[in-house]
Chains A and B, each alone.
Chain A
Amino acid sequence: MKRKLDLKNGIVHGTPAYIVAVMTLLVLLVLSILTAVTIGSVDLSVSDVYGVILYKLFGIGDPDVFGAGAMSDIVWFIRLPRIMLATAVGMGLAVAGVVMQAIVKNPIADPYILGISSGASLGATAAIFLGVGAVFGSNSIGICAFIGAFCISLLVQMTANIGGRANSIRLLLAGTALSSVCSAFSNFIVYIGGDRDGIQTVTFWLMGSLAGAKWENIAVILPCVVVVTLFFCSQYRILNMMLLGDDVSITLGTDLHRYRQVYLLVSALVIGFAVYSAGIIGFVGLIIPHVVRMFFGTDHKKMVPITALCGSIFLIWADVACRTIIPKQEVPIGILVSMIGAPCFIYLLVRRSYGFGGERS
């Protein structure tokens, strides 16, 4: 019988299994991008698609064929930005999910748990119905959502710090409370506004979509997400300690309070960007960290990089599925992710008898 590879502690040819996994996933990510870009509603030959990419990136090839025109536009301005946005948003959400789970010490946490999604929704609703943020032009919904998300995460921290230092429980409570306040206000605005187009826009936006991908945005978001991911890769020790709690961490020489605040702000930035460019895509930030944890264990040294790459790959393919699953129609990615993600997650849960660590011996 073949011996099962131990991903948590195993060594492959002298390299720790997780490093091998990271390398493999990096290759898979590149392959995913290159495959996904050939899939779309218009039939383009694979060589033409790569011709455009080669020309745009390195100036190789015939500028008349690959430099301009419908084919070039489809590959370079429609397909590729979406894929790169999926890469960035998937990575950002997955990493933010890991960090949030550590910050609130709770495995059911997701990137939106501390009121960030409700804050973003409130911002978006205000932009759509009240015309708030009209000065930002066509990006006003996204920008207001970003501002909403960011303000709420600041407010949650401030609230949690009133009358004592914030810990994970106080953060959760403050997050839940402020989150319901925001939802109530959004619902109120929608109810009073009562405008059919507005409701449709809000719904579309809340269900998430990568259709708004533009190079200008990606140029900001992708580097930011990558830098944040690398930052959290370097913070694995403190993330690990967060799961042990404040008291134990102090005996191990780390006062978590300050780190929690910094991490929250950094994650809020990434989540805000994700919300700004793709609306609210649920489940990625919850499921990807759990799946990775099932195979690679809780140690954040392994988890952060692997989760980041899995998040990207997952979202790229989820978006491809959105565009192709029903011909002539695009399924909102948020819906698709939950529809496919949730059953897969439950299957894994049952198969691997993964207890979130919730079981005690």
Chain B
Amino acid sequence: MNIETSGIEMILGGSQILKGISLSATGREFIGIIGPNGSGKSTFLKCIYRVLKPTGGAVMIDGRPLEQYRVKETAQKLAVVSQHNYYNFEFSVEDIVLMGRSPHKKTMERDNAEDYRIVEESLAKVGMLDYKGRVFSSLSGGEQQRIILARALAQKTESLILDEPTNHLDIKYQLQLLDIVKKLGITVISAFHDLNIAAAYCDKIYALKSGQIVAGGTPEEVITSRLIRELYEVDATVRKDEFGMLNIVYHPLHVRKGEEA
């Protein structure tokens, strides 16, 4: 699967949120997008998954512009796990995951045995098969996000977009969820808040600031003390640990004050 964006621009409420974003993801690449709050990460991803329509530029999927696909076709190509999934009604876990099959269904078509098999398979992949009959809203935040991931898996797509899905989750669940995604071996574009986690999972990282890409490349190339300073106005040390993982350590203000004294 190949996702390519060229010069995406977005004007919302009179202010330009995105100022020409071009990037691409192919094959089994895990692409990360980092940047401070309001840098346009989420807006950009929404342009890809069609909740927003960019005011300029183009999104190409497998070489064809996004607008040429029907909404149903894009949902067969890319699935989304986003940050907020709160429902006013009590659905069972199975109901939720089964909805992942809808891109493959005609309007009046009923669910068949194959759909139920895929639902079970997806739940098994996220380790939640035992929760099939539970009420979705009664689950913990981490469990809920795994169910939403299972729904995305049930879409059987070749790519996945994660819109800060691990926000508000305990670290255990963050890692658990991303591990599952990483193992899928499909194209992934994900927004990240936590740089350590981004560095741990991404093949390529793009850094966004004020709607522009300020850096792009492997985690090692992108995540540097200088960039962190530029993006977040925070001092940090970046080093590699014994497993070869990038390790970002921030220097909070009060610590620096102590050094100065």
Contact = CB atoms under 8 A, between A and B. Distances in A.
B140 interface: yes
Interface size class of B (residues with CB under 8 A): 35 or more
B51 A107 contact: no
A243 B87 contact: yes
A252 B137 contact: no
Interface stretch (A139-147, A291-299, A339-347): A291-299
Contacts of B105: 237
A251 interface: yes
Contacts of B108: 234-235
B102 A253 contact: yes
Interface of A: 6, 8-9, 105-107, 234-235, 237-238, 240-241, 243-244, 246-248, 250-255, 293, 297-299, 301, 355-361
Contacts of B73: 253
A254 B72 contact: yes
B137 A360 contact: yes
Nearest to B51: A247
B74 interface: yes
A253 B103 contact: yes
Contacts of B82: 247-248, 251
B88 A107 contact: yes
B137 A361 contact: yes
A97 to B, nearest CB: 13
B66 to A, nearest CB: 12
A361 B141 CA distance: 8
Nearest to B141: A361
A298 B89 contact: yes
Nearest to B91: A298
B190 interface: no
Given A299-B95, A361-B140, A250 B71 contact: yes
B88 A252 contact: no
B76 A253 contact: yes
A248 B85 CA distance: 9
A237 B91 CA distance: 13
Contacts of A107: 88-89
B210 interface: no
Contact of A254 (B80, B89, B100, B102): B102
Q: Which 6 A-B pairs have the closest CB atoms?
A: A253-B75, A253-B103, A253-B72, A251-B80, A357-B90, A234-B108
B138 interface: yes
